[in-house]
A = this chain, B = another copy of it.
Amino acid sequence: MADKLPGKVLVAQGGGPTAVINQSLVGVVLEARKYSHITRVYGALHGVRGIVDEEFIDLTRETTHNLEAVAHTPSSALLSTRDKPDRDYCRRMFEVMRAHGIHYFFYIGGNDSADVARIVNIEAEESGYPLRCVHVPKTIDCDLMENDHTPGYGSAARFVAQAFGGITLDNRALKGVYIGVVMGRHAGFLTAASSLARRYPDDGPHLVYCPERPFDLDRFLGDVDTTMKTHGRCIVAVSEGVADAQGTPILGKLKPISEKDAHGNIQLSGTGALGDGLADYVSKQLKLKRVRADTLGYLQRSFVGCVSDRDANEAREVGEKAVQFALWDDVDGSVAIKRPVLSYSTDYQLVPLGLVAGRTRHMPDEFLNAAGNGVTDAFHAWLRPLVGSGLYETHRLRAPKVEKRPRV
């Protein structure tokens, strides 16, 4: 590899953590440490913030055993940030990288992170400094363009499926209306995964609402009413980001919004407001007594001990592949997961950063039913392999009824 540019590798993690994001980190580090022309592997603390602040740790001096232990630990081991760099911020990042002789930059994150990699890459090009920038995909929302699915999604989907698996049993034992709010601002993939909890025909969730379909409070009320009349109970899975036909978030219609993050997004997570608002609405309008709401919250992305083995393996591979693309092919881009065979095989391709950066993928139309309150078999066929092996089954008693008797 005498023709290869000697230099350092820098890796960072951005955005919301996932259960397997450290698999990707360790994939990058272990693979990069194999190449003789890589002089160091640095990690930046707190994502892009740690790059402008020059907060690096030397991962060449980390043991393999500890890296493997970290790989199995959820949430970004290099820590994260919600900073959204502008052009000037990216220039400062680039200057720090140049000062350290970093020629390979790997950024693990969602579509905002891909955009950062894209802009830093442009900065380097304009300065005539060789800097390979590769975006490593990560997001529980599964909303990256060019990807069949994203690392982090399978484990979060498994958590949501197991959560609703218990909820439908609980709600069968003590009947009522249950509303579970699932993460997903613009894409309903994670909310839709709740449907995997259904095993028996009357199991919940009976109604699934994703942001891809307009949410109408009256139609929602009618759906709950119909389900209650059919099953005597009703389990609802709803995305935190559901909005009406005009795009107004339902949460905004139920409660005024005050907090916005640095990306200009309103706060949907870390509050029970949507679930409580919907529960209150159902309870009052349908005059039902037992209406409960849970917001699954941060557990969805960080719960310890609920991982899809397939998701973990793929998260590792995208990190490894990112390094292989950059070091063998000397190219920039975003690693994308393709699925040549639905049931199931994986392929990794490097796609241009611009195709992923700042863009959001939504659920394909054929994954959602026409009524906008449920998912299709096509979605299930797509989802099932992603949640991994050993998914728990639930079972019911099948003993015959006993005939009634006259009192003694």
Contact = CB atoms under 8 A, between A and B. Distances in A.
Given A293-B270, A305-B306, A306-B305, A59 B99 contact: no
Contacts of A62: 397-399
B173 A17 contact: yes
A57 to B, nearest CB: 4
A220 interface: no
Given A57-B397, A74-B166, A76-B173, 5 more contacts: A58-B401, A70-B397, A166-B303, A167-B299, A271-B293
Number of copies: 2
Interface in A60-91: 60-63, 66-67, 69-70, 72-82
A405 to B, nearest CB: 5
A178 B66 CA distance: 28
Contacts of A294: 270, 272, 295, 297-299
A45 to B, nearest CB: 9
Interface of A: 13, 16-17, 19, 42-43, 46, 54-63, 66-67, 69-70, 72-82, 95-96, 98-100, 162-163, 165-167, 169-170, 172-174, 178, 259, 269-273, 275-276, 279, 289, 291-299, 301-306, 392-402, 404-408
A232 B303 CA distance: 22
A110 to B, nearest CB: 13
Nearest to A163: B299
B271 A79 contact: no
Contacts of A295: 272, 294-295, 297
Given A276-B273, A398-B66, A302 B76 contact: no
A59 to B, nearest CB: 5
A97 B188 CA distance: 50
A216 to B, nearest CB: 23
A299 B13 CA distance: 29
Given A395-B69, A408-B95, A167 B302 contact: yes
Nearest to A179: B270
Contact of A98 (B79, B167, B296, B408): B408
A166 B305 CA distance: 9
A298 B170 contact: yes
B59 A399 contact: yes
